């Protein structure tokens, strides 16, 4: 992993939000190999929202917890409800990337205990939401984009605040902390295309501290 902050462009998107273009490019093949292993143990699935809708994003997790949703609500669960087993462990290359990105963005104390793995196909979207199921909002979230590019929607503290559209490409990493931690955000419907390593897919890793 290239830990040299000055080797890559770092852009402040907002207070506490740093975009590290290409930060994960070197490790992307290893990350994708690890994602395949995770999906063998805990397959991608389309969760049901508390309102009864099937999410268009397919998800799995690794680490001590996993984020899950069903008719009873959202939660972090130490067991995969599909397999009834613990989630696969966080691969060392995942943890190393997340900690070094957080450090490069000014969060030296990031201690991630879960990585949510999202899989997008053309047409898949993520409606505007806040991430507020975690126990400690002083811990940032680190996101890694792999595969097809996506348009990230960056909103405000209210659901109907004006949004910015930010393109995210293979290898981009964003660290979301401080006042940015609770902003509304989402992903516009994925455009069709083909990525040399992933085909018509986008994989997003989000590293969090659940508890």
Nearer to ligand MD3, 91 or 176 (CB): 176
The tokens for 186 are 């989402």
Residue 166's CB is within 10 A of a number of other CB atoms, namely 17
Residues 79-138 that bind ligand MD3 (CB under 6 A): 116, 118, 126, 131
Q: Which of ligand MD3, Fe ion, none does 118 bind, CB closer than 5 to 8 A by kind?
A: ligand MD3
Q: What strands, in cross-sheet order, belong to the sheet with 150-154?
A: 126-129, 185-187, 150-154, 164-168
Identify the helix (H) or strand (E) that includes residue 173.
strand 173-176
Decide: is 183 part of the binding site for ligand MD3 (CB under 6 A).
yes
- Provide φ and ψ at 168, rounded to 5°: -120, 130
Cβ distance to ligand MD3 smaller for residue 4 or 18: 18
Q: Which stretch binds ligand MD3 (CB under 6 A): 6-14, 26-34, 93-101, 172-180?
A: 172-180
Q: 27 or 204, CB closer to ligand MD3?
A: 204
Over the window 116 to 155, marking each residue x when it contacts Fe ion by CB under 5 A and - when it does not, the resulting string is ---------------x------------------------
Q: Could you list the beta-strand ranges (E) of 71-140.
A: 73-77, 114-120, 126-129
Please report, for the chain, how many H helices and E strands are present, in that order: 2, 13
Among 38, 58, 141, 190, binds ligand MD3 (CB under 6 A): 141
Give the residue among 58, 112, 68 at the shortest CA–CA distance from 90. Answer: 112
Q: Please name the residue that has the structure tokens 């397959």.
A: 43
Whole-angstrom distance, CA of residue 150 vs CA of residue 20: 15
- Site residue total, ligand MD3 (CB under 6 A): 15
- By a kind-dependent CB cut-off of 5 to 8 A, residue 181 interacts, out of Fe ion, ligand MD3, none, with ligand MD3
Q: Which of residues 189-208 bind Fe ion (CB under 5 A)?
A: none
Residue numbers of the site for ligand MD3 (CB under 6 A)?
116, 118, 126, 131, 141, 143, 174, 176, 180-181, 183, 185, 187, 204, 206
């Amino acid at each position: 992993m290239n830990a040299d902050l000055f080797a890559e462009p770092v852009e402040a998107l907002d207070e506490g939000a740093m975009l590290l273009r290409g930060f994960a490019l070197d490790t992307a093949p290893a990350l994708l190999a690890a994602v395949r292993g995770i999906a063998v143990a805990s397959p991608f699935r389309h969760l049901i929202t508390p309102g009864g809708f099937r999410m268009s994003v397919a998800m799995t997790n690794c680490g001590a917890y996993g984020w899950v949703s069903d008719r009873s609500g959202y939660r972090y669960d130490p067991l995969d409800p599909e397999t009834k087993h613990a989630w696969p462990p966080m691969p060392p290359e995942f943890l190393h990337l997340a900690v070094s990105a957080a450090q490069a963005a000014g969060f030296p104390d990031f201690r991630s205990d879960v990585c949510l793995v999202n899989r997008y196909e053309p047409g898949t979207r993520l409606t505007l939401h806040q991430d507020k199921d975690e126990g400690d909002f002083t811990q940032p979230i680190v996101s890694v984009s792999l595969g097809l590019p996506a348009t990230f929607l960056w909103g405000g503290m209210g659901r109907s605040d004006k949004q910015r559209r930010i393109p995210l490409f293979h290898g981009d990493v964003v660290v979301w902390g401080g006042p940015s931690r609770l902003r509304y955000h989402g992903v516009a419907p994925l455009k069709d295309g083909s990525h040399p390593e992933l085909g018509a897919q986008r994989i997003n890793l989000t590293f969090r501290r659940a508890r």
